[in-house]
Amino acid sequence: MDFSWMAWSVPTAVFFVTILAILTALSVLAVVAPSPPRTGLLGVPTQRGDRLFVSLLGAAFIHLGWLGVTDASPWYALGLSLVFTALSFRFA
């Protein structure tokens, strides 16, 4: 297959492979050790996949906001995103 029209770079490929690995791990974990829904700060029952989606969406907004507001290194936005993800999985 010729994917040259997509202009893939190594960081883009790593990003999508990481997302695929996380989804695969969560799928296996759901079969091996299913988790009951729990209600957190969102006020609705959520499962691991829901919290992953909220975390990824939040990380995207954190990075976009970071790039739009400051010229500082995006690695700081990654740190904020990881903290947000940890809090999402703990309290959401």
Domain shared by 49 and 29, yes or no = no
Domain shared by 27 and 62, yes or no = no
Domain shared by 57 and 78, yes or no = yes
Domain shared by 61 and 79, yes or no = yes
- Residue 1 to residues 5, 10, 17, 72, 85: CA-CA distances in angstroms? 11, 18, 18, 38, 35
Domain shared by 54 and 81, yes or no = yes
Per-residue pLDDT tens digits for 50-82: 899 999 999 999 999 999 999 999 999 999 999
Q: What is the pTM of this model?
A: 0.79
- Predicted confidence at residue 87, as pLDDT, reads 93
Domain shared by 13 and 44, yes or no = no
**Separation between Cα atoms, residue 88 and residue 81, nearest integer Å:** 10
pLDDT over threshold 70, residue 3: no
Number of structural domains (the chain) is 2
Domain shared by 45 and 25, yes or no = no
Query: What is the residue range of 78's domain?
Result: 38-92
Task: Report the Cα 24 to chain-centroid distance in Å.
Answer: 13
Domain shared by 67 and 85, yes or no = yes
Domain shared by 81 and 46, yes or no = yes
